[in-house]
Amino acid sequence: MPTPLGAPLRADFPFFQAHPRTAYLDTGATSQRPETVIAAEADFVRHDYAAVHRGSSMSTGEATSVFETARERVASFIGAGEREIVWTQGATDALNMIALGIGDASVGLGGDRFALRAGDEIVVTEAEHHANLIPWQRLAARTGAVLKWARVDERGLWTIEGIREQVTGRTRLIAFAHVSNVTGQIAPVADVVAIARSVGALTVLDACQSVPHMPIDVAALGVDFAAFSAHKMLGPNGIGVLYGRAELLDELPPARTGGSMIKVVTMEEATFLPAPNRFEAGTQPVSQVVGFSAAIDYLERLGMDQVAAHEHEIGQALVEAVVRIPGVRLVGPAEGEPRGALVSVTVDGVHAHDVGQFLDDRGITVRTGHHCAQPLHRALGTPSSTRASAGVYSTRDDVAAFGAALAEVRAFFGADR
């Protein structure tokens, strides 16, 4: 019988034992961790910690086995091959690794298929997180490529027609989020991939807000690269994943160089190992990888179909809670339309930071600010918004508390007069 989500899960999370009355609605920024994840990482550090892929000792071999087994777990979780999973410092790091690798290819450091020339095009959307925008800005500046973007409408949404309008025969790469961290918009991935393939362009998917919340099969999606982070899916900080199709990773120049990722080094040059090792220079975050694997174990025990169903219910409840409040504007898809398990709102006459403080005083944790998406907020005509985002432990009671408190904000600040 499936494990009930929401309130029954809270006993698994030490945070909720310490803060039993907190409505934690900031999972989009970072998720809470179950005790099993914390214990897995701590137990490894206490009993089995050693360097990986270095030396021939028994301890090194055992640690390496754990390290590589975790890679297999992540690969299986997203429908990838184990050689297609690269450990990174996080999703931001993963996206930068792609951009830096393409930049190196563009100046003759290997990977000719990735080389950009002046006048080539990179296409993004106006809704992107800065981590999926600034690397492409810098890549365009270094190579002479042109950065183009699909614009958002008054709700913060972009369309597949907007993507299609920006794509030409010179387009070499399209980068976009699977689920927007601000609007909750769910991208039509298959349509974007089809457009990219029609002109021979690569696709890069920011999957930070999708992999933790719904079943994902990267092979079925057809994207060339994807990035996501453990800390948004019940795991540790400082560890993330770059997914890439194996044949692409084997040709992409590594963004970082050093020990453990080389075949041969002379005083004049170096050659690199196949993927994924070619991207994993230096000492690896072994204990974080162990915690990441435990987080995936936890999610798989719940079942990702059940996770998606629970969070869809909570997401729609969040929408219902805010659309009936006078003076509160919902950003993103309208009530009843598909969206991720988050809502962002603006409140007439009250700055988002004040909204957030008011909610925090009432035990409701949300995110305020521009959410690392300034161009999107500029298009919306506001410097910031207030975001509530759900996870497997979120409940209808959390939503009710959020809605009730949000309804009091304008009166408290005198903005309803």
The radius of gyration of the chain from alpha carbons, rounded to an integer in Å, stands at 22
Looking at residue 120, its pLDDT comes to 98
CATH superfamily for 7-30+303-412 is Aspartate Aminotransferase, domain 1 (3.90.1150.10)
Can you point out the beta strands (E) in 266-338?
Answer: 270-272, 328-331
The residue written with tokens 């690969």 in the block is: 75
CA-to-CA distance for 132 and 126, rounded, in angstroms? 10
CA-to-CA distance for 283 and 305, rounded, in angstroms? 36
Beta bridge pairs of residue 142:
none
Domain boundaries defined on the chain: 7-30+303-412, 41-299
Looking at residue 408, its pLDDT comes to 98
Looking at residue 2, its pLDDT comes to 62
Q: Which residues are catalytically annotated?
A: 372
- 157-166 long-range contacts, CB within 8 A, separation 24+: 157/127, 157/183, 157/185, 157/332, 157/333, 158/125, 158/126, 158/127, 158/185, 160/188, 160/191, 160/192, 160/195, 162/125, 163/123, 163/125, 163/191, 163/192, 163/195, 164/195, 166/121, 166/123
Top-level class of domain 41-299: alpha beta
Evaluate if pTM is beyond 0.85: yes
Question: Which DSSP category does 179 fall into?
Answer: B
* 203: CB partners within 8 A, 6+ apart: 173, 174, 175, 176, 192, 193, 196, 222, 223, 224, 225
Tell me if domain 7-30+303-412 and domain 41-299 are identical in fold.
Answer: no
The residue written with tokens 């898809």 in the block is: 333
Spell out the per-residue pLDDT of the chain, length 417, in tens: 566 799 999 999 999 999 999 999 999 999 999 999 999 999 999 998 888 877 777 777 788 899 999 999 999 999 999 999 999 999 999 999 999 999 999 999 987 899 999 999 999 999 999 999 999 999 999 999 999 999 999 999 999 999 999 999 999 999 999 999 999 999 999 999 999 999 999 999 999 999 999 999 999 999 999 999 999 999 999 999 999 999 999 999 999 999 889 999 999 999 999 999 999 999 889 999 999 999 999 999 999 999 999 999 999 999 999 999 999 999 999 999 999 999 999 999 999 999 999 999 999 999 999 999 999 999 999 999 999 999 999 999 999 999 999 999 999 999 987
Q: Is 400 left (phi over 0), alpha (psi -120 to 50) or beta?
A: alpha
Looking at residue 417, its pLDDT comes to 78
Q: What is the 3-state secondary structure (H, E, C) of 334-385?
A: CCCCCCCCEEEEEECCECHHHHHHHHHHCCEECEEECCCCHHHHHHHCCCCE
